Structures are given as structure tokens and as C-alpha cells.
Structure 1
Amino acid sequence: MPQQKKAYLLGLSAVLAWSTVATAFKISLQHLSPAQLVLYASIASTLSLLSILLWQGRLASLLPALRQHWRGSLLLGAVNPLAYYLILFQAYALLPAQEAQAINYTWALTMTLLSVPLLKHQLSRHDVLAAVICYLGVLVIGTHGQLLQLHFSSLAGVGYALASTLLWAGYWIFNARDQREPVIGLTLNFLLSLPLTLAFCAFSGELKPVAWQGLAGAAYVGGLEMGFTFVLWLSAMKLTSSTARIANLIFLSPLLSLGLIHFIVGEPILPSTLIGLGLILGGLLLQKLGKTH
């Protein structure tokens, strides 16, 4: 199979997997608290990443990397998975899955906005217009289209969803300077985050027996969304002759995700969600087109 076809196959596989996670989050949170889901999903993801390194014959390189990068790995692990997923799962606990996942797609724009104070980048007119359009989309989703009343279905939920985009965007800005090999780096992040997550759960009284359905959901979320899918996406990016072609596949994910949320979770998809998501994706597309000129 030609390399570009392999890249498309791997990229589409990653997008299909990511399309299922909003549904998996919502179902898992019926049986687990956000902190419990972070803990058990992180364990599953760590095992998944270690298995990938074992299969690649690179497990022995983990210890030298740990000795060299343990401080940075501990800091990044505290952000992702611990803080990011704890806040994201709290958003999913408070909001319908369709709203939380749509708002989460603004992280790419958030990364552009954060690069101004953190990296001293300048915003273009496309960036500013994209920000206005995207956050108008968030407003439409959060208020169910009642913009004038500003009545949010869950103001706290929208706040958590937006805060998660700040953490995720900040994580990737600092990750861009990371000298570690990506899979090794992610594995170290998860390994060193586990004691922190365990301590948080113990302190908050979350270490108690949980239903097997919750554990199964956490295994799916951790093994697939947090671990294996990341490796699929990285592999697609390495094989492709055009990064933009693979990156554009991500625009398929929100629509597929909405379908799964409707048919599996049972949420009726609101017109305000479709309008808001359209604004968010339109804003992101505008920003992307602005960078090509």
C-alpha cells in the first residue's frame, strides 16, 4: 500500500476512534465520578502505551528517558492527563455530551490566542474574526440559542469546558518545545501522573468500589482515546506527504460524534448545537485559510 494511502487509513482510524469518545465519556460518567474516571482511564492508557513500546521493542529506552526528563514529565503529567481530563470530565458531567464536545473543539483557536502572551505571536485579522465566530458558537450552544436572555443550561459546565481548552492548548504549546520522543514522552507523563491522581482520589474520598461498567468504560477511554489513538495519529502524520490533508480529516469527527451521541446516549440533537458547532467549525476553517495566505 502506498504511504499516502496508509496515512489516510491511519488518520481516518484515529478520527473514527476520537468520534466515539464523547459517547464513552458520558456513559462512563454514569458509573464513575470525574476523578475516578481520570484514575482508571489513566491506568488503562499507561498500560496501552507500555504495550505499544513493548511491541516496538523500545521499552528499555523508557528508564534512561525517565532519569533525564522526570521533572518535565511530572509537570506535563500534572497538566495532561490529571488537570485536563479532570476538568473536561467535570464539563461532561454537567453538560449534555453534544454541548461539551462541541465547545471542546475551540481548543485550536485557544492555542492561537494563548500564543500571544506565551510566545509573543501577533494575531491576524483572520484570527480575531475566527475568535469572534467561534465564541459566538459557544454562546449559541451554551444558551440553547437564547442569546438575548443569556440563560445557560449550565454556566459552570460551559466554564469547565472552556477551561479544559485552555489547559489542552497550553499543554501543546509547551509540548512543542519537548525534546522527548512523542510516545516515550506521553508514556512518562501518564506514569508520573498516576501517583498524583491516586493521591487526589484518596484525599477527595474517591477510592471506593466501582461498578464493572465504569471500569469497562474507563478501559475504553484510556486505552483508546488517551493512548492508542495518539500513536495512530502520529504515525499518519509521519507517513503523509501533506500534513494539511491529514489534519483536515479532524473536521469529520464532530459530525460523526453527534450521530453516536444521538443514537447511543439518546440525546436529541438540538438545532442550537448544530448552529453553534457550524459557527465553531467555520471559525476554525477561516483561521486555517488565513494561515495559507
Structure 2
Amino acid sequence: MIAGDTRRANGLGCGAMLLWAFLGLLARLGAGLPPLQLTAMAMTVGGLLGLLVTAWRGRLGRLRQKPLAWAHGVTGLFGYHALYFAALAMAPAVEANLVNYLWPLLIVLLSAPLLGLPLGARRLGGVALGFAGCALLVGDGARFPAGAWPGLLCAAAGAVVWALYSVLARRLAAVPTEAVTGFCLAAALLAALLHLAFEHSVLPDQRQAVAVLLLGLGPVGGAFFLWDAGMKRGDPRLLGTLAYAIPVVSTLLLLLAGEGVLDLRVALAALLVAGGGVLASWPGRRGAAPPGVARG
């Protein structure tokens, strides 16, 4: 893979992160809808959008994939969200979010044994700074009560599922990104079935309908396609480190929307995350790059 292709793929991965940063803001807009119902509806929007684009390009045949690809895609998309929502239901949100944000660190660490990509002190230092910034921001006031351990285990399991889904996507690089359309629709169906089993349905009002549409176009739909391309053709070590910008940008967006007040903690967290990203992406010494990864 040439350097230009890698940079473009990294850009797509960063686009997914930017969309995920709007999750908190859009979740506020969709307040009142049960979580699984909201997930099912948003993923349906994202899946249908992908279906329309794939059909327009005449690539519907790419939805036919081997069982391994379906298992990887559906387990990753549905498994992560199911575990995340379970964590929020059984543990305090602050603590659950802090544990859940182990996934960027795990992406970087798993890139070595699963993909054979070197890490080095520079990348490990960058991800450490990013995690410190995330812990400072998301973990402010965390107490980890003893009775919350089932939810915290779900949060940790969700982090492992998403990290494995992300890293192993590179092993399935032959599977086209259009196939995410089918994975998204299948995950939406599973979320809908669980919603019908465990939640009471709510008819969305105009505000909630707008939230569903925007979530499907963005963080709970469209972002999956960008992330798939980024993980398959970009640098998972760099993207994993930069992912710590998500909670910082999300917090800043909420502040711009009038939720909360900008303080020293938020500014310091942003500085740590930015510093980690710069350190991890700083050009290293010239040398042979591993297969499929550009130098630097």
C-alpha cells in the first residue's frame, strides 16, 4: 500500500471519529427513546443508506460474503453496542464510559500480536497520553462502587469486542466496505428483536425522528463505513491513538451547545489527547515498513 492510500484511509478513519463525537449531542436530541429502539432505528437508516449507495453503484453482489465475514461484522457492530448499553444499565455512566474507553488502547496493543505491526516507545507514549486525557475527562469523580462490577465487566467486554472487530478488519481486507451495509442491517434486526423483548416501544416525535436520521447518517450508521475503510487500509496504531480525541471533541460540542462550562480539566484533557496524537504520528526513523503499511 502506498503512503497516499494510507493517508486517505487514515483520513476516513478520522472522519468516523468526528461523527462519533456527535453521539452525545444527538443522544440528547433523541432523549426519551429506549436505547435499543434508538440503536435499531439508527442502524436501519445507516444500512438503508448504504444499500441505496451500493445499488446505485451496481455493487449489490458485494453483499454476498462468507460466514466468517458476517460473523465478524455483525458480532462487532451488534456485540459492542449491546454490551455498552448493558454496561450503562448496570453501572454508573462515568465509570462505564471510562472502562469502555480502553478500546483505543487495545487497538494499538493488539496491532502487534494480531497484525505484526511494531509499536515502539513513541506510539506507546502517545497512547498513554491519550488515555490519561480521557481518564481525566471521562473519569472525573469516578468511584467504581462494588455493586457495579457486572456493568464494568460488560464495559470491558465491549472494549475488547470493538478492538478485536477493528483490528481483525485488516485481516479481512478483501471484504469490501459495501458489505458493512448487510452487517449494519443485520445488527439493526438483532437490536430490534431485543428491543421488542425487553423494552416498551415509543412513537418518535419530530425531534426524536430528526435524531434518528442524524444518528443513522452519522455515529450509529455512516461512521461504520468510514471506520471499516480506515481500519482495512490505514494505520490502526495511529487511529487507535487518535480515537482518544472522541470524548474530548464530544465534550467540547456539548459545551458549545450550552451543556456545561469549559474549565481547566477539559482544557488539560484536550492538551493531553492532542499531545498523544502528535507524538504517535510524529515521523520515526526511516526504514523498512511492514507489509501493507507506509513508512512513518
TM-score when scaled to structure 2?
A: 0.68
State the distance in 1 between where 2:181 and 2:242 align: 25
Residue 109 to residue 32, structure 1, CA distance change in 2 (3 Å): same
What SS does the corresponding residue of 1:209 show, helix, strand or coil? coil
Which residue matches 2:43? Answer: 42
Q: Which amino acid is the alignment partner of residue 195 of structure 2?
A: C
1:222 to 216, 219, 223: 216
Alpha carbons 1:87, 1:160 under 8 Å: kept: yes
The match for 2:136 among 133, 140, 147 is 140
1:69 corresponds in structure 2 to 66
Matched, 1:209 2:207: no
In the alignment, structure 2 segments of 5+ residues that lack a partner are 287-296
Deviation of 1:249 after TM superposition, in Å, equals 10
Asked if 1:280 corresponds to 2:273, the answer is: yes
C-alpha contact (below 8 Å) 1:34/1:90 kept by paired residues: no
2:260 counterpart residue number: 267
Q: Judge conservation of contact 1:104–1:162 (CA < 8 Å) in 2.
A: yes
Task: Show the 5 A alignment for 1:92-241.
Answer: 95=93, 107-119=103-115, 123-144=119-140, 151=143, 164-204=158-198, 206-212=199-205, 213-228=207-222
What does residue 293 of structure 2 align with? none
Q: Distance in 1 between matches of 2:110 and 2:229?
A: 27
Structure 2 partner of 1:86 = 82
C-alpha distance after superposition, 1:211-233 (max 9, x if no partner): 32334312211123344455578
Alpha-carbon distance in 2 for matches of 1:143, 1:109: 16
Could you say if the C-alpha distance between residues 233 and 127 of structure 1 is closer, same or farther in structure 2, counting changes exceeding 3 Å? closer
Give the conservation status (yes or no) of the 8 Å contact 1:49–1:183.
no
Q: Secondary structure at the match of 1:225?
A: coil
For residues 46 and 80 of structure 2, the distance between their equivalents in structure 1, rounded to whole angstroms, comes to 15
Residue type of the alignment partner of 2:277:
L
Tell me how far 1:41 sits from its aligned partner: 1.1
Once the two structures are TM-superposed, the CA of residue 46 in structure 1 deviates from its matched residue by 1.0
**2:76 maps to amino acid:** V
Deviation by residue 1:97-130 (Cα, 9 ceiling, x = unmatched)? xx95x99776443211123444465542223333
Partners of 2:103 and 2:23 lie apart in 1 by 16
Amino acid at match of 1:138: C
CA distance in 2, matches of 1:210, 1:91: 25
Deviation at 1:202, TM superposition (A): 3.0
- Partner residue, 2:28: 26
Deviation at 1:266, TM superposition (A): 1.8
Given that 1:26 and 1:92 are in contact with CA atoms closer than 8 Å, whether structure 2 keeps it comes out as: no
What does the per-residue CA deviation read over 1:26-54, in whole Å, with 9 as the maximum and x for residues that have no partner? Answer: 332x2223222221111111111111112
1:73·1:192 contact (CA, 8 Å) conserved in 2? no
Percent identity over paired residues: 22
Task: Point out where structure 1 has 5 or more consecutive residues left out of the alignment.
Answer: none
State the TM-score, normalizing by the size of structure 1.
Answer: 0.68
Given that 1:23 and 1:265 are in contact with CA atoms closer than 8 Å, whether structure 2 keeps it comes out as no
State the shift of 1:173 in Å.
1.0
One-letter amino acid matched to 2:29: I
Inter-partner Cα distance in structure 2 for 1:261 and 1:17? 14
Residue-pair matches, total: 271
Q: Relative to total residues, which structure has the larger helix share, 1 or 2?
A: 1
Q: Once the 2 structures are TM-superposed, how far is the Cα of residue 186 of structure 1 from its aligned partner?
A: 0.6
